[in-house]
Structure 1
Amino acid sequence: MIFKSTNIDIPVKGVYQDLLNEANDNATFIDSTTGESLTLDKLRSDSKKLAAGLIDKLGFKRGDVLAIFSPNKIDYPVVLFGAIAAGGIVTIIDSKYTDDGITYQLKDSGAKFIVMCPSLRSKAIKATAAANMLKSNMLLFGNEEIDEIKPYSFLISEREADPVEYSPEEAMSTTAYLLYSSGTTGKNKCVEITHSNIVTNLVQIGYHNDDINPESTFIGMLPLHHIYGIIVLIHLTLLKGASVVLIPNLEFDLTTFCKAIQDYRVNVIHIVPSIAMLLVKSSISKDYDLSSLRSCISSAAPLSKELAKSFARKFVPIRQSYGSTEFSFTHFVKYADDVPVESIGKPIPNVECKIISEDGKELGYNQKGELCIRGPNVMKGYLNNKEATEACIDSKGWFHTGDIAKVDEFGNFYIIDRCKEMIKCQGYQVSPTELESILNSHQLIDDAAVIGVYVDQDATEYPAAYVTLKKNIPETDKLKREILSFVEKKVPPYKKLRGGILYIKKIPKSSSGKILRKKLRNKIKRDHPYYKKQY
């Protein structure tokens, strides 16, 4: 059975044409630390002047890729839309990445230019050198030249370039963003998101979303390298004329978060379940006036019914959305108050969904199976990876999520289990195989398997590893600490093995050599200290 949503007319055009031309004049970005603001008029002017500077001074060409490597900053939208206005493509690098992770993304995306946060320049300099990027193509946020790297502001031209416009056909085929998704295996995959993907998803999200308007003030805590952050905090707020209070911290800090809500009378927050748990349990939230809140949406990981009810009792009702980078953000939104808290709601307009059994048969109401989705906001594909694209998008255009879901008789969808191969850690998806490859490179490890261990008090999963040591190597706590440190040096913080190390004599595998993670997930409930006491 195919479940269809409402069909609406959606314009097909470029991101700049749609957003900056159609944006509400009240849209404003605010720095939570300094109080500095960026108005829509200045954003329009500076982005077009930056586009002119990129073209005139650096020889930026249509189709060139510009990377942004920075925590949230007030002029982030200027750089983003400056590159888009020049006909470029933007890739955004996680500010917590290690040197190797940065280098990989620069090479994989084909980035020729980078704008970075000054405090991250040492990592960026190493990575750009490894990626053979010209130093003249490296720029800094801010207004100061450091280590012979100029600030991007030196490119701000006297003239305003005419933003590149796209016909409907070009908007549907031309990539706007190259964002990275963990996928289910190995290295992060590069998701090609077209101009029309973005424009479409914004119209879909906004169709029933009348509670976001010029009176809305968002808090910009979500990292802008993530599809969740960039769509909600930059794109959607521009169209709706909302204000965004950006928090520039590299690490989440609950005190800073609560203080910003209080000081700027924030009324809309987008969070992940682990932050909802912090707000509910921590005494810090009691020290601040959070009475301005009227709307909260949780995404990027499953939200439990118990946590949703606790949050609602203490603050405001919390809604859950579901999506991924491959969907250009989301496919489901709760429009009505009578939708059960554990449901992700109904599909957004112009989307088809179906639930299928293991043998590919379509299922009906209240039957559990894999969720498949088809719609105009589904990605173009994985960059230079036809095999991975065809593995998740079939010949009829259905995107196979890998997630187990069901739909009730009222048309509300429920995620029963998210893709088991992935670990959902603090809103990020972590690939077990990536961590396994690092562990297996350790000279004392013979084999390794990584799975997630769920921690109720943090409302998130953490990666945990079973390891088999080489012959005659003793299983000691000291070696566990050494292995943890070995991995920590090679991954961003959210990929650290916070679930710890457990020794095992042999990793269970199928006859074909595939790790039997279901057996390990059952075993870890007997072995892991998280299920007995704090690890």
Structure 2
Amino acid sequence: MDLDRSIIDVFSDACAKFGDRPAFTCLGHTLSISDIDKLSGRFASYLQNHTSLKPGDRIAVQLPNVLQYPVVVFGALRAGLVVVNTNPLYTRRELKHQLNDSGAKALVVLANIADTASQVIEETGVEQVIVSEIADLHSPIKRTLINSVAKYVKKMVPEFSFGNQVNFRDAMNLGGKQPHSDVKRTPEDIAVLQYTGGTTGVAKGAMLTNRNLVANMEQVREALGESIKEGEETYIAPLPLYHIYAFTIHCMSLFSTGNHSVLIPNPRDIPAFVKTLKGLRFTGFVGLNTLFNGLMRNPDFAELDFSRLHTTASGGMALTRDTAKRWEEMTGCVVTEGYGMTETSPVVSLNPAEAVQLGTVGKPVPATEVKVIDENGNDLPNNTPGELCVRGPQVMKGYWQREEATAETIDSEGWLRTGDMAVIQDDGYIKIVDRKKDMIIVSGFNVYPNEIEDVVSAHDKVTEAAAIGIPDEKSGEIVKIFVVKADDALTEEELIAYCRDNLTAYKVPKQVEFRDDLPKTNVGKILRRELRDEELKKIEALENA
């Protein structure tokens, strides 16, 4: 494992070796690795010759899965900048915080979502805004057609205005007139500021270095082994590239091996998603539990060509047994669940394709140590639940400008406390019991929402479920389950009876609420926190009535 290379060293090697191979496809248009090399060089030239940005400055990138994303990110890195991955769904408050906290001096944003940034940009230190339209890297005729339909027919582009705005295509034209120079960065230099979701307070920027990201790329490649053959793979990319999981898989591991990623800009539009997959003989699929469920409910999905599909990777949220089994039955491909977090670049463990253990997140990837500890920081033996700790070259440098938060998370020996409760089995496989903060305590017994959700989701009349704990005078907390029905005939009584047959008494939900859908993050992860906050507000209102 060579950890002395920068991301641009890896990029340059891939361009030299696999230039003619397809790299990214979106909305029917494909860019080869050579195309990405040429176009990212133009963008780097624009940054170096037409802005005041210097190596080490931060540039925020607020783009969904479109072809501009890899061009902009690799261009920024080639210019020596630090990429601040920015969620396109951010509210004004969230975006303002991230731009100011990171000290971003530039922002690249899609026109469709630029109105949010336009309302806060003057309250930030951003000096330059580069605005792109969805099909800016397509051929002229197709570009005009797609961009016009988005703007004038579908009304997808709201009004916005920036005083410091340049259009992406104009920037690329300017950059094409002068050469750029790849800036040499060391392995310890920060490459990406990846902000956490802020579920435990204000969002923090995880400082991911070149070494962190290159190490995790190497770890993933080694762990997947023959699952990634150089220049032969076509992977479907519905998870957003600005999320570190998808970034590491598609922009690092797959790009570095000359492989092809098909970008899905809006995976929530399941019919359009399935239509994109028709006729494709894809070999890999990277997703998560709710997305797998959504696809399998679409009648056309089962008719796709799965003959070459050999890898389905799941991460971001717990994979339920029922979903995994149905996916395997429908596609013929086993789902390999892994585990990671923003602070670990992100992959910590993976299930080996040849020895998947459902219900676990596999074994640590190479050069990674794991242990579990109790509340006092003492190491615990195998098969005992405790907080999972991780040490390895993929562990972040720390939180941006937050020394105290860094010290609370990473100890003097380099162990990172994940905040996740886990069991390490004798065979080395890791089982995530739950997020520490999501754990429900019923009469002194620990109840893990993942287990409840796994059982409930296996009911043939349930599409998906989320479990939370709500206050109870008698037992401290009780379990409440939120359920989206697959069959309208399902009743609360039937579901609770089913839970009684499959769960210990104190784990059985005392309350059931049926909903049309559940709140989710932009990557489809169910937000238990929102459900819990709703319940607490209801309780508070009743107490004050």
TM-score, length of structure 1 as denominator length: 0.76
CA–CA distance in 1 between the matches of 2:264 and 2:120?
Answer: 26
Contact 1:356 1:370 in 2 (8 A): yes
Correspondence for 2:234 among 217, 226, 238? 217
1:266-345 matched pairs, under 5 angstroms: 266-315=282-331, 316-345=333-362
CA–CA distance in 2 between the matches of 1:422 and 1:195?
Answer: 35
CA distance 1:383–1:317, shift in 2 (3 Å): same
Give the corresponding residue for 1:159. Answer: 178
Give the corresponding residue for 1:96. Answer: 89
1:175-254 matched pairs, under 5 angstroms: 175-182=190-197, 184-208=199-223, 209-213=225-229, 214-249=231-266, 252-254=268-270
Q: Which runs of 5+ in 1 are unaligned?
A: 1-8, 424-450, 467-487, 509-535
Give the corresponding residue for 1:444. Answer: none
Per mean C-alpha deviation after superposition, the further-off stretch among 491-500 and 346-355 is 491-500
CA distance 1:154–1:291, shift in 2 (3 Å): same
CA distance 1:422–1:237, shift in 2 (3 Å): farther
Per mean C-alpha deviation after superposition, the further-off stretch among 186-195 and 492-501 is 492-501
Give the corresponding residue for 1:260. Answer: 276
Q: What are the Cα deviations for residues 355-387 of structure 1, in whole angstroms up to 9, with x where unaligned?
A: 222232222222221111111110011111111
Q: What are the Cα deviations for residues 490-515 of structure 1, in whole angstroms up to 9, with x where unaligned?
A: x999769467844215899xxxxxxx
Question: Structure 1 counterpart of 2:23, which letter?
Answer: F
Give the corresponding residue for 2:43. Answer: 50
CA distance 1:258–1:416, shift in 2 (3 Å): same
Question: Structure 2 counterpart of 1:180, which letter?
Answer: Y
Q: 1:67, CA displacement in angstroms?
A: 0.9
Q: 1:398, CA displacement in angstroms?
A: 0.5
Q: What are the Cα deviations for residues 42-77 of structure 1, in whole angstroms up to 9, with x where unaligned?
A: 211222222122111112211111111121111211
Counterpart of 1:363 in 2: which secondary structure? coil
Question: Structure 2 counterpart of 1:164, which letter?
Answer: V
Question: Structure 1 counterpart of 2:41, which letter?
Answer: K
CA–CA distance in 2 between the matches of 1:344 and 1:268?
Answer: 18
Give the corresponding residue for 2:108. Answer: 115
Contact 1:465 1:501 in 2 (8 A): no
CA–CA distance in 2 between the matches of 1:463 and 1:189?
Answer: 25
Alignment pair present for 1:83 and 2:76:
yes
Question: Structure 1 counterpart of 2:251, which letter?
Answer: I
Question: Structure 2 counterpart of 1:308, which letter?
Answer: A
Give the corresponding residue for 2:491. Answer: none
Contact 1:351 1:373 in 2 (8 A): yes
Counterpart of 1:191 in 2: which secondary structure? strand
Q: 1:245, CA displacement in angstroms?
A: 0.9
Give the corresponding residue for 2:7. Answer: 15
CA–CA distance in 2 between the matches of 1:507 and 1:181?
Answer: 34
Give the corresponding residue for 2:497. Answer: none
Question: Structure 2 counterpart of 1:355, which letter?
Answer: V
Question: Structure 2 counterpart of 1:187, which letter?
Answer: V
CA distance 1:256–1:291, shift in 2 (3 Å): farther
Contact 2:286 2:314 in 1 (8 A): yes
Contact 1:70 1:94 in 2 (8 A): yes
Contact 1:65 1:111 in 2 (8 A): yes
Give the corresponding residue for 2:486. Answer: none
Alignment pair present for 1:350 and 2:367:
yes
CA–CA distance in 2 between the matches of 1:55 and 1:218?
Answer: 33
Q: Which runs of 5+ in 2 are unaligned?
A: 138-143, 148-159, 441-448, 472-518
CA distance 1:461–1:149, shift in 2 (3 Å): farther
CA distance 1:159–1:392, shift in 2 (3 Å): same
Q: What are the Cα deviations for residues 138-179 of structure 1, in whole angstroms up to 9, with x where unaligned?
A: 34353799956322424423333221123xxx312x110011
Per mean C-alpha deviation after superposition, the further-off stretch among 491-500 and 374-383 is 491-500
Counterpart of 1:312 in 2: which secondary structure? helix
TM-score, length of structure 2 as denominator length: 0.75
Counterpart of 2:340 in 1: which secondary structure? strand
Give the corresponding residue for 1:514. Answer: none
Give percent identity, aligned residues only.
Answer: 28
Contact 2:340 2:347 in 1 (8 A): yes
1:360-379 matched pairs, under 5 angstroms: 360-379=377-396
RMSD in angstroms over aligned alpha carbons?
Answer: 3.2
